[in-house]
Structure 1
Amino acid sequence: MPDMFSWRIAAHHPAVATVRRNSKIWFIRTEFTARASFDEAKLHGRNWRNDRVRALATTTSDSTDVVQDSTGRKAEIYTLIDTIHQHEDELAELLDDLLPSNYLDYIVDTRSWGMDDVFSGTIGHRNYESLENKVRGARQQFGEYLPEDHLNEAELELYNRLYGEAIMRPAESEAVIDEREPDILLRDDGEGGFEEIDVPPENGLEEEEEEISVAYETEGILDEDEDSSAFDRAKQVAERLGGVLLESGAEIAEEEESESGPRLHPLTEAGKYSTNPRTVFLPRDSVTGPISVILSNYSNRHIAEAAYKIFGGRRLPHSTTTLPPSAQIAQVPIPLSASQHQMSDMEANAYLAALYPGIYASTLSVLVEVRKRLGGKWLRDLMAQESGPRVLDAGGSGAGILAWRDVLRAEYETMVPDHPKDAPIPTGKSTVLSGSDALQSRASVLLDNTTFLPRLPDYVHVRDSSTLDDDRAPPKRKQFDVIIAPHTLLEIDEDYMRKQHVKNLWTMLNPNGGVLILLEKGRQKGFEAIAGAREMLLEKHISSSGSTEYESLTESGDQGSIQKEAGMIIAPCTNHGKCPMYHIHGHAKGRSDYCHFEQRYIRPPFLQRIIGAKDRNHEDVEFSYVAVQRGVDLRQTESVVQGKAATDAAFEGYEDSISTSEDGETGPPSTSTVNPLSLPRTVLPPMKRRGHVIFDFCTPEGKIERWTVPRSFSRQAYHDARKARWGDLWALGAKTRVPRNLKLGSAASAESKKERLQRRAASKMAGMDGEEQEAAFNMMEASEERKVAPALADALENQARSLERRKKGHNIPSWKRHADKKRIRQAVRKVSSNTAGEDFI
């Protein structure tokens, strides 16, 4: 045994251990009451030893500010600790036959002392792996809130890098009543006996505990009304402290888990689809504050009643709010449009209160994604123009401009770090479509230096050049660098008028890089409207490999080929083929799968009052969108590869293209750079199972596939897959891939009710025997001259419904089938008898 510690078992009591240190023998004995079990004694002894070892390490660290020779002596100390544990195992083998197992655990259990953890604070950990294990163990044990002084400086630094800034929880001192007798310290008196050593008490401990102050005094903050609910009191405290009260567990856990930490692969970070932070907080200075001032001039009750009447009820289902499909809400366009010319003051107030927050949040989410895919250079080039960026809000009545300016401000503050937060920035020229005077006057309060248009100019039916009838130059057209058109397609019923509207917006884009953003509600009809506009742009405007022209009428009126122009889809698609979720033109009946995304935002107080929500203050707005760029094709300028080759390369993964070190620093990229526009995108929330993650991707090949990333595939890929979210681009490959079965519905039938009933009756008669079919045919012939008996019609309808349910997989009981056939036979006999009687008469 080493000189540092040695053990000797006293013969007179199994719970007496002898420890020799520096040639002095000390005996430690703990006397227990008759009621105390041996398990309590075992736990008490372990706690005493742990405290002594930690006290020794604390004394060592306090006496020496900086440990010298930490590399040489550290290895010797940890080797000595391993030797102690080794000799402990040897001692356990020797005493295995002499003492019971529970006594043995109490005597030799140095591993419970945690000497590695104690000395690591002074001399450092054994290696980086032990340091990481300590930090991850603390995360698993305590979760998001870390006790104070639990981790040392090096451990806390690694904790912040892995999980974000640590939230310290003050140590809670619990008053525990210990009924056991105090410990007694004995030593050898040299005559074969023991003598007790007096230990001076720790004076002043109780006085110090009484002087501990409370971190926050909430007696003056909370109302003393006992009838107020806990939520009201918590909300009051949050308002006093200048914070926002979120739903329990809704967003705090997500925000605390850092997804931009150094452990994420750089390509995973580049493919993230989210704002920062993920939850959008509407700015008070530019959005919620001015709207609250405008609405304060009107009764809250009147505004709420107007909103219920316009948007379909208390939950506002016909606004930007997207209720779950189980609510079975009719998919209708938003009743209020920015282009309508007649709008009352109360309708304008309902527009601001119910539509502005959702349009702002969804538009901001799309703009952030467009900025990520085009890079910061795109925005900086727009701001560098002589007149600044030219932006048109063609459907949000100013909400899109507010979101655009926030993105522009964030980019400008990155360019100019010393720019004051409240100082203005160069916003360029902003134009807003607002047809009514009531809505225009309210939007002008929120927007300065903005031009308002009562209607959009029609450039589809305007000549592009001089003609024989008019040799004058064509009129000058307005052109915009960015056009934001939220919720403008569903309100147009005819498909050809929708295409005409999209074409008009396309002609107003700057031909040298203008960006068009179309956005609709995240439901089946909203997706179908966006997919139809995307298909039209690809067919007649955006040139792709193998499709550079299309057949149409030329300006001379003859059939000919028209050349397409350069352009590209920026988001969300990473392919330029036919949408795999849009196989039928127009509305598909029974569609379950469609491309859409979501964005969470905090409801402003005025929207909370209208909805009547008292606990949940956030909302997840779902939307479908497409962003295209005119005149610039990154597939040619930056060699962006799409198609089957890009899909296969993404399945293999680009994990090794950029090296990452253990401390999170990014190494030099490989010779072939990876553009995120060549990666698949998650079109549904990832399914994170135990040991593997399942993705549903829309690949650059234009297919919907299901990829699986198990733990065994790659440590980095599995780690990033656990952090992946809906809408992200994925670059680290997968282990398996299979086509995903989609429920895209079928074309909506145009047959009338009579035709549908006849078709069902024909399908029903196909399953009858010969006699029943003959009688049914006679009945149908007779029904041409006179009305069929109601009993027979009801029987046929019931059997037709049963057959339809059986085709869909429902189990129809045998007694129900026999009962339907019996009713039909009885009705046919009755009709036949009546017919025979009339013929006889």
Structure 2
Amino acid sequence: MLALRRNSSLYALCRMANNLSLRKKSTSVSEKLTMAQAQMEFMTHEKNPSQGSLPFEMRRHSESFGQLVRSEHWKKKGDLNDSEYVKTIELHPESQMELLPSPFRNADGSFIQGNTSEEARLHPLTLEARVDHTTVKLPDEIAKVINKNILLVVSPDKLRERSALVYQSLEKEQIQKAPDLSLEADAHIASLFLQNYSHAKRVLSELKKRVGDSFNPQSILDVGYGPATGMIALNEIMGENFRPTTKEVYVVGRSNAEMKKRAKILLSRQVCEIPDEHELTKAAQEVVEEVIEDQEAEEGEKLDISEGYTNFEEKEYIGPVDASQIKIRTRLRDALPSTKQYELIIVNQALLTREYSFPNDVDTNIHMLLRLLKPNGHLVLIERGNALGFEIVARARQIMLRPESFESEKGVVAPCSHHARCPLQLGDPNLYKVSNHKHRLNFCSFNQVVERPKYTMELKRGRRLATQWDKGAHDGMGIDNLSKKTLKNLEGSGRPGGNNTESGNFSYLIMHRSPNDASTIAKIESDRAHHADVSQQAVRWPRILEFPAKIKNNVKLNVCAPSGNIEVWQVPKSLGKQTYHDARKMRQGDLWALDKKSVIVKNRLSPANFDKLNRLASTQRKFIMKEKRKKQWKKIVSRSESDFEENPIELADELASDLESSKKYRTEGKRAKFDVNPRTYDGN
């Protein structure tokens, strides 16, 4: 093999020499000597290949490509081919182990500010203005009791069917309804409790952060359709030692007995709801004594609580729970009080019962709640993050502040950065339903992510809640019309790549009622007379309404500004490294406490465009009513002849009642000056 390699090398050298002699007809003596010397060196290297000048000169081109060429001034070290030429750099002995201290950590390695490395790099004002965006998790004890003692009692198919009806009603009506039956209460908890809890916890956490360490309300009232959702969230925020003097819950609805039972069960899973020994009734103490006696009889010896209780594993009970035997600190009211007042009132989606009652129901309920709010107390309003929910919150804000009369009034804690009229408020939720117009109607809402517990994952499996619904189908879902491919994709797939979280939008408002002592009232009147700015610094920071638009060397923030307008603030890199860094880390719902370079004020809807939008809404409403009447008449005409033959009087009475209840009939009756009112006429 070595002989073949040498012969091939000599052959290549001879060809190179022949080519060179062909190119140069006359060769000098010095050139011939140089060529002979090169030939001798090459042949010597072929005989002793290990004595090469470079360690990788005999490698293939693909193996030697990209390797460093050794310099002649490098000193040889060792005998190995790869370590013959080593360049040594001596470091200072002190600088080898010396590390620069981190500007974001203490000497022990803990963060100077914040809980994460991202928060540690923010400006202190940015961190103060930031909202908690962590994923909310429902407590394990509450998730277990919902799954094992509430939902597992119901048939899964019936529960999914009723939950689908809850979602359909919520999409159509845009507001929640009071559940009456036991199955409706279970479906409400399975469908809506998780997101409502996350929204309440997010809003109450912001209230606690804005008020500070002094936040410790001693009298709380929670109002809503759910199982004391606001009270459960407040208990989780305040901790196990939260023991106020008054805790009351009012579940909205005439038939609210079933929901009150479930609220009692959920509240009993929190440590701060366990009553003290002196609060236990005699009957409850007897029940506890009976349980202890039964345990002693079974085990044959007295149970040592100090040593053996930690090793005692209680069997998990699955089935219904008798709520009448549960004792908690929170009182479940049958109606709202008339004279009692509270330091904190939480209203969770309970200001409006019917969409067509807007804004009368909102005005009435707000006036009722304000009578129950103590001076220096807080009112928290939480609604769904749709157009109707935003308009409910905006209407309540307008009723409480009266910005048209008092432009610089103090009272809003969050989310507004001003006390003027809301720049996004239209005053009518039906205007958002108008189609075929060029205006982009935005509303204020925020997003919160919550981790799904086991019962939510079990609920949303299967066809009914995992596929897109066909609204044109007979059942409003179109489950029976699914293709075989869709059904096959759902079978045993486990939703690969899916997250165990879900998100929901909400609108909210936190109001603060000022004290009513003489000195405070005198100061407020003086500020009104001199048009003083009474707002706090944190309230003056703009609220970010959308996620920032990150452009090259620039960040655009769409904010609700202290000026009372919707503005676009531009934060370029030229403002500084810290400001630019913090602007890129902002999220929807945060406050912006640092500087900006330029401002673009967005135009509001002009009065002319507002009138045009109202006309379009009126036209669309008339068209919808006309189509509805056509559908009803088609239903009547398409009846069979047997319907007219069997009950003609009943059918005629039904048609006459529909006609008399129409608006057109009443209008024509007033014009004709009918003496008899069809509504009060009894036939005599």
Is the Cα–Cα contact under 8 Å of residues 413 and 510 in structure 2 kept in the other structure? yes
Deviation at 1:689, TM superposition (A): 2.1
CA–CA separation in structure 1 for the residues paired with 2:621 and 2:594: 56
Distance change (3 Å), C-alpha of 1:40 and 1:717:
same
**CA deviations over 1:768-810 (Å, ceiling 9, x no partner):** xxxxxxxxxxxxxxxxxxxxxxxxxxxxxxxxxxxxxxxxxxx
Q: Which residue of 2 aligns with 1:426?
A: 243
Change (3 A) 1:44 1:124: farther
1:376 corresponds in structure 2 to: 213
Instruction: Name the CA distance, whole Å, in 2 between partners of 1:573 and 1:259.
Output: 26
Higher-RCO chain (CA-CA 8 Å, sequence separation at least 6): 2
Partner of 1:271: 129
The Cα shift of 1:303 comes to: 1.3
Q: Give yes or no for the alignment of 1:610 onto 2:610.
A: no
Identity %: 26
Which secondary structure state, in structure 1, belongs to the residue aligned with residue 402 of structure 2? helix
Match of 1:293, as an amino acid? N
Where is the helix percentage greater, Structure 1 or Structure 2?
Answer: 2
Contact kept in structure 1, 2:387 and 2:429, CA below 8 Å = no
2:263 corresponds, among 443, 463, 466, to 443
Q: Which residue of 223, 245, 253 maps to 1:393?
A: 223
The one-letter amino acid paired with 2:189 is: L
The one-letter amino acid of 2:504's match is: V
- TM-superposed deviation, 1:697: 1.2
Match of 1:620 among 499, 503, 527: 503
Alignment of 1:427-576 (within 5 A): 427-434=244-251, 435=253, 436-447=256-267, 448-457=328-337, 459=338, 477-492=339-354, 493-494=356-357, 495-510=359-374, 512-539=375-402, 544=406, 568-576=411-419
Matches for 1:113-512 after TM superposition, within 5 Å: 122-124=96-98, 258-261=117-120, 263-275=121-133, 278-312=134-168, 318=169, 330=172, 332-334=174-176, 336-337=177-178, 343-379=180-216, 382=217, 388-409=218-239, 425-434=242-251, 435=253, 436-447=256-267, 448-457=328-337, 459=338, 477-492=339-354, 493-494=356-357, 495-510=359-374, 512=375
Structure 2 counterpart of 1:625, one-letter code: Y
User: 1:730-769 residue pairs with structure 2 within 5 A?
Assistant: 730-741=592-603, 746=610, 747-749=613-615, 751=618
Distance 1:27 1:121 in 2: 39
Q: CA deviation at 1:114?
A: 9.8
**In the TM superposition, what whole-angstrom CA distance separates every residue of 1:344-391 from its partner, at most 9, and x where no partner exists?**
221111111111111110011111111121112122xx3xxxxx3333
Q: Name the CA distance, whole Å, in 2 between partners of 1:756 and 1:351.
A: 34
Matching of residue 725 in structure 1 with residue 548 in structure 2:
no
Report the counterpart of residue 578 of structure 1 in structure 2.
Answer: 421
Counterpart CA distance in 1 for 2:140 and 2:381 is 27
Give TM-score scaled by structure 2 length.
0.58
Partner of 1:442, secondary structure, is helix
**Structure 2, unaligned stretches of length 5 or more?**
1-40, 46-50, 78-82, 268-327, 435-439, 467-494, 625-684
Instruction: Report the Cα offset of residue 705 of structure 1.
Output: 0.7
Amino acid at match of 2:387: Q
Residue 616 of structure 1: CA displacement? 2.5
Q: Per the alignment, do residues 719 and 41 of structure 1 end up closer, same or farther by CA in structure 2, a change over 3 Å counting?
A: closer
Instruction: Quote the Cα distance in structure 1 between the aligned partners of 2:458 and 2:66.
Output: 60
Q: Which residue of 1 aligns with 2:23?
A: none
Contact 1:517–1:627, Cα closer than 8 Å, also in 2: yes
- How far does residue 109 in structure 1 lie from its aligned partner after superposition? 11
Task: Tell me which residue corresponds to 2:287.
Answer: none
Return the offset for 1:619.
1.2
Equivalences, count: 453
TM-score, normalised relative to structure 1: 0.48
The CA distance in 1 between the partners of 2:189 and 2:370, in whole Å, is: 28
Moved more, 628-637 or 677-686: 628-637
Q: Which residue of 1 aligns with 2:564?
A: 702
Q: Is the aligned partner of 1:593 residue 2:442?
A: yes
Q: Is the 8 A contact 1:593 1:743 kept in 2?
A: no
Give the secondary structure class of the aligned counterpart of 2:261: helix
How far, CA to CA, are the matches of 2:442 and 2:151 in structure 1? 39
Q: What one-letter code is carried by the residue in structure 1 that aligns with 2:425?
A: Y
Which amino acid letter does the alignment assign opposite residue 426 of structure 1? R
Q: Is the 8 A contact 1:393 1:401 kept in 2?
A: no
* Contact 1:429–1:450, Cα closer than 8 Å, also in 2: yes
Deviation at 1:734, TM superposition (A): 0.6
**How far 1:107 sits from its partner (Å)?**
12
Counterpart of 2:118 in structure 1: which amino acid? E
Letter of the 2:506 partner, please give it.
Answer: F
Aligned-residue RMSD, C-alpha = 4.5
Confirm or deny: 8 A CA contact 2:135 2:448 kept in the other structure.
yes
* CA–CA distance in structure 2, aligned partners of residues 114 and 630 of structure 1: 71
- Say whether the 8 Å CA contact 1:490–1:526 is kept in structure 2: no
Q: Which residue of 1 aligns with 2:545?
A: 683
Measure the CA separation in 1 of the matches of 2:620 and 2:407. Answer: 46
Q: Is the 8 Å Cα contact of residues 680 and 730 (structure 1) preserved in structure 2?
A: yes
Asked if 2 retains the 8 angstrom alpha-carbon contact of 1:640 and 1:675, the reply is no
